[in-house]
Amino acid sequence: MATALKYFTVYFLSGLKFIFGPTLGVAYDLPVVVTIALTALGMMTTIYLFTFLGEEIHRFFKRFRKKKKVFTKRSRQFVKIWKKFGLKGLCLLTPLLLTPPGGGLLVNLIGAKKNEIIKWMWISALLWSTVITLIIKYAFWLVEDFLPT
């Protein structure tokens, strides 16, 4: 039962903040392949939610916000990022710079095609979960070799 809780924790937290998945997976001493898979699946669950329910979520929260300026410094930065990197770049930057909910909501609000969002987010999730998990796993492994026993 404790193992299932570890798996769920890695899965769930990587959907909120991507770096939690590889970090917890290595800390819990889960197999590398399992950590990579759970991290990618956690992120993609969030992306699917925001891709297919993003407009409803946006409308729900919009009811509670006060009217704001359309052109703010933050909205201009998002547009600048979108123009500079496009959908592919934004999807590849999501795990590193944005959270999965933030990146998922951003690409959906800008109006990208849903199948393109899903495709590039899968590529990004698998790429970065593999890279980050391996870096964290072997960084800990190297540190353990140098620690006195």
pLDDT in the model for residue 140: 65
Residue of 131, 139, 129 lying closest to 14 (CA atoms): 129
Most confident of 31-35, 73-77, 138-142: 31-35
Between 127 and 94, name the one with better pLDDT.
127
State how far the Cα of 114 lies from the Cα of 91, in Å rounded to an integer: 12
pLDDT digits (tens, 9 = 90+) for 109-146: 777 888 999 999 999 999 999 999 999 988 766 666 66
Distance of CA 73 to the CA centre of its chain: 24
CA nearest to 34, candidates 19, 49, 24: 24
Residues 6+ apart with CB under 8 A from 134: 32
Domain ranges of the chain: 2-146
Query: Which pLDDT band, with edges at 50, 70 and 90, does 95 fall under?
Result: confident
Name the pLDDT band for 76 (thresholds 50, 70, 90): confident
pLDDT above 90 for 106: no
Tokens describing residue 131: 């890279």
pLDDT greater than 60 at residue 88: yes
pLDDT at 74 over 90: no
Percent of the chain at pLDDT exceeding 90: 40
What pLDDT does 45 receive?
94
